[in-house]
Amino acid sequence: MARTKRLIVFVVSACLSWTGFVQPVMANELITAEQVVQRQSLDASTLDVRAQLQARLNRADVASALMERGVSSEEASRRVAALSDAEAAMLLAEIDEAPAGASGELIGTLILVLFILVFSDILGFTRIFPFLRPAR
């Protein structure tokens, strides 16, 4: 018992003594002027992308289409503001080619549900379709 305690004390003290040697990694290097300019240009391009998206949302036909779908212009503006930089750039790049709807997701979901119901009916878990006989 004393030997086990001594071993545990040794392991714990070794672990605690090594924690002083581990230093957190911090960025101690200088930032160059090119990095600052690049960051500012990225911020400006991000603002430009968001401004282009806002301009498209402010068009009358887009605003009326959003209202038909139950989304106010203010809500759409808040959603655009909440997008990340990459998402905003991707949305701006694909906004003209993107379909105005669910792009077939509803049909695919219905087919998947029908397939699952038929499959479970054939296996005998459900009895939804009377014309299908369960496998025995």
Query: Residues 13-61: pLDDT tens digits?
Result: 887 777 766 666 666 677 788 887 777 776 666 677 888 888 888 888 8
Query: Is 0.95 surpassed by the pTM of this model?
Result: no
CB distance 80 to 54 below 8 Å:
yes
